[in-house]
Amino acid sequence: MDELELLKTMVSMYSPTNDEGQLAEYLVQTMNENGFRSHVDEVGNAVGIMGDGPEEILLVGHMDTVPGEIPVRVEDGLLHGRGSVDAKGPLATMICAASGLENTAGKRITVIGVVDEEGDSRGARNLLDKYNPRCIIIGEPSGWDSVAIGYKGCLRLRYIIEEVNRHTGTPDPNSAEMGVEFWNGLNDYCSAQFGDSAFNSLTPRLVSFNTENDGLRTRVEMQIDVRVPPAANIEEVKASIEQLGSGDLHWASEEAPIVSSKNSFLTRAFVSAIREEEGSPTYKKKLGTSDMNVLGNHWDVPIVAYGPGDSKLDHTPDERLSLEDYSTSIRVLRSVLSSLIERVE
């Protein structure tokens, strides 16, 4: 398999959420040509299976990206393009690493490029009643010499308030001011909770703030994300937020946080493989969420996220991936998979 050609082609296929079909078909064809048994499942995930043993190793990356096309180019050893880091680079790493294995020795390695990770994780949720993995690797940028063992949870909500229109000279607060008051109260509540480190804090983010005025009524709608640390009880957090002020709250979605063990056979395999490449392995806990939250909170098995790339470049107009790190990550992951295949229960 031409590792660079695979990555360049994947990144060149613009695939924002809900438009992953072309990429899925390409991945299925490519995996079929490289020893996988592959298909597109009922929700559009690209599935490739290597081996037919009873113990399954599940590798899950995502095909979709946030919107915004970035011209694809290779310059100074860097591949620029939307999705190069988040997360086509990690998914390409999985495909290349699995395709280079000489045998599976009674194991089954399943690589899945899922849809909708940047949305509601429809692709990952479709896996929950179809697989029984022994361990899971999530394709997300961790850096070639690190593994991610934790992600914060997330509450997504809409705040809506609508009031009769008032003259601007009146002392009563208008809808916009009441919305700001709610936002300020939410900030004060969150800042008083849990720890003061980024991973252990309750962190609100104002995604959008929209006002409407038809001359009779004024309306405010805010989209808000609240990142939830492992120490928080999500139901208690929701109940506290609902008491913060007037207006209607609509909970759009919630995802529980997750922290996996540093001492599982899976993390130990990564530590060993990274050291083989003369790296100094580290563990990371991420401030966002990923499909690791969905799958890791469903299956009680070892799980980590791994892949090349600097996650600070996620969703940015300067998204770019080191091709050297990409190649090294393939070797690391292939070594991990080889050790998992050889492992005897």
Answer yes or no: do 137 and 15 share one domain: yes
pLDDT tens per residue across all 345 residues of the chain: 899 999 999 999 999 999 999 999 999 999 999 999 999 999 999 999 999 888 999 999 999 999 999 999 999 999 999 999 999 999 999 999 999 887 888 899 999 999 999 999 999 999 999 999 999 999 999 999 999 999 999 999 999 999 877 767 777 788 888 999 999 999 999 998 877 789 999 999 999 999 998 888 889 999 999 999 999 999 999 999 999 978 899 999 999 999 999 999 999 999 999 999 999 999 999 999 999 999 999 999 999 999 999 999 999 999 999 999 999 999 999 999 999 998 755
Answer yes or no: do 19 and 125 share one domain: yes
Answer yes or no: do 123 and 144 share one domain: yes
Q: Which domain holds residue 211?
A: 153-255
Is there a catalytic annotation at residue 41?
no
Among the candidates 206, 237, 255, a domain finishes at: 255
117-to-16, 59, 177, 182, 292 alpha-carbon distances in Å? 10, 14, 35, 30, 10
* Nearest Cα to Cα of residue 57 among 260, 263, 266, 261: 266
User: What pLDDT does 172 receive?
Assistant: 78
Identity of residue 277: E
Q: Active site residue: 20, 64, 116, 291, which one?
A: 64
Answer yes or no: do 121 and 264 share one domain: yes
Answer yes or no: do 272 and 296 share one domain: yes
Q: Which single residue is written with the structure tokens 């929700």? A: 43
Phi and psi for 103 in degrees, rounded to 5? -160, 165
**pTM for the structure as a whole:** 0.93
Phi and psi for 102 in degrees, rounded to 5? -80, -35
Is there a catalytic annotation at residue 314?
no
CB atoms within 10 A of CB 236: 10
Domain with residue 321: its CATH number is 3.40.630.10
Answer yes or no: do 271 and 229 share one domain: no
Domain with residue 181: its CATH number is 3.30.70.360
130-to-25, 52, 59, 64, 124 alpha-carbon distances in Å? 21, 16, 14, 21, 11
Among the candidates 255, 276, 298, a domain finishes at: 255
Number of domains comprising the chain: 2
User: What pLDDT does 344 receive?
Assistant: 56
Indicate left, alpha or beta for 123 from its phi (over 0: left) and psi (-120 to 50: alpha).
Answer: alpha
Answer yes or no: do 29 and 137 share one domain: yes
Answer yes or no: do 52 and 104 share one domain: yes
Among the candidates 233, 255, 277, a domain finishes at: 255
Answer yes or no: do 140 and 187 share one domain: no
C-alpha to C-alpha distance for 257 and 245, rounded to whole angstroms: 26
User: What pLDDT does 100 receive?
Assistant: 81
Answer yes or no: do 315 and 228 share one domain: no
Answer yes or no: do 196 and 335 share one domain: no
Q: Active site residue: 3, 20, 56, 117, which one?
A: 117
Answer yes or no: do 110 and 229 share one domain: no
